[in-house]
Each structure stands twice: as C-alpha cells, then as structure tokens.
Amino acid sequence: MPRKAEITRNTNETRIRVELDLGPVEGSPYENKTGVGFFDHMLDHIAKHSRFGLNITANGDHHIDDHHTVEDVGIVLGSAINEALGDKAGIERYGSASVPMDEALATVSIDLSGRAALVFNASFTSSKIGAFDTQLVEEFLIALTANGKFACHVQVPHGQNDHHIAEAIFKALGRALRQAVAVTGTDIPSTKGTL
C-alpha cells in the first residue's frame, strides 16, 4: 500500500500544503518553500535523511514573525505522517539516531506510539540563527509530535555553533523517522494490538 498523504490547512495566519510519501523514495525528492530560508534548509534535511518524498509550501504572516508558519508546518507535517502510517501494521515503530555535525552532537529517539510527548534537552548559545528564532526549533517539534502522535526525545550533550546544533537535530530526526516507519513485519508492533 502506498503510504502517502496530502494535507492542506488554511487559517487567517497561514496557508500550508504538505505532500508526503513515506517511501523510501529513491533520491528523496523534496521541495520545501515556506518563506523561511533556514527552516526550508532544516526541512530538506528531514526529507533527505528520512528518504521521504516531501513537498511543503507555506504562505504566512511573516510581517509579524515566522512563528505561525513554523508551528503550522509542524501541525500539518505531523498530521500527514500520522495519516500516511495508516494502522501502522508492520512498522518498526521505534527509531533512534545520533548525528554529529562538526562539534555538535544530537540524538533523537522516537516512538510512533499514538501518544504525543516531547522531551527537548537542547540549548542554543543565542536567540537567532541568522534571522531564524532558535526557539522555533522546539516549537516546531511540539507541533510535529502533537499532531503526528508520537514521542520524541531530543538530547544535545554538546555543541557551540547554533547552526550545527539545529542541523544535527533535524538530520537525526530524519534518520530516526526513517527507522521507525520502515516496514519490517505484518503485525501491529504492540501487545495492545493497536497503536
């Protein structure tokens, strides 16, 4: 069964469209245009390292700031992941990856449990990466996990360069998702019989 989803969300603040193919898609084709350059770069890392086909377009109220756009992309992408997984029969369910990015190291562990939880143990040295608010990394992950209905633990034990820290987190997230969505069996990976 193709594991795909297309979701559109329009509000007074943003207009978001996500096209997702859990793949694995050869070459992980992606095109992410949110109007937030650094965020597009991070979404590209998720796509590349998860091997998802991912196309995201967003128009938001950037004259205020980028918060609504980043948060709402998390809402829609999380919803798309949850929809594309269907009943989750045969998936690996768990995924974990540690990714070094020069001096920074990030570990992301996820459980596609049907229950949302985020533990975010990472800090940045400044409030901005270029024009991007570093607080939006956690805000994106809150929205993603809440709507994707999965647990996500982020640990960054060390790192000095904020760009490297963020990039390590997003790459590790992509690789953890790749493991967790992989189809390796036929049954629901839970003693409950449902996820």
- The model's pLDDT over 70-126, given as tens digits with 9 standing for 90+, comes to 999 999 999 999 999 999 999 999 999 999 999 999 999 999 999 999 999 999 999
What is the arithmetic mean of pLDDT over 138-144? 98
The SS3 of residue 125 is coil
- The model's pLDDT over 22-67, given as tens digits with 9 standing for 90+, comes to 988 887 689 999 999 999 999 999 999 999 999 999 999 999 999 9
Beta-bridge partners for 32: 56
Q: Is the dihedral of CA 79, 156, 57, 63 positive or negative?
A: positive
In this structure, which amino acid lies at residue 105? Answer: L
**Lookup: tokens for 161:** 């360069």
Give the pLDDT score at 26.
80
Give the pLDDT score at 28.
65
Give the pLDDT score at 27.
73
What's the rounded Cα separation, in Å, for the pair 41 and 174? 13
- The model's pLDDT over 154-189, given as tens digits with 9 standing for 90+, comes to 999 999 999 999 999 999 999 999 999 999 999 999
What domains can you pick out in the chain, each with its CATH number?
Answer: 4-181 (3.30.230.40)
Question: Secondary structure of 41-106 in the HEC alphabet?
Answer: HHHHHHHHHHCCEEEEEEEECCCCCCHHHHHHHHHHHHHHHHHHHCCCCCECCEEEEEEEECCEEE
What's the rounded Cα separation, in Å, for the pair 94 and 116? 14
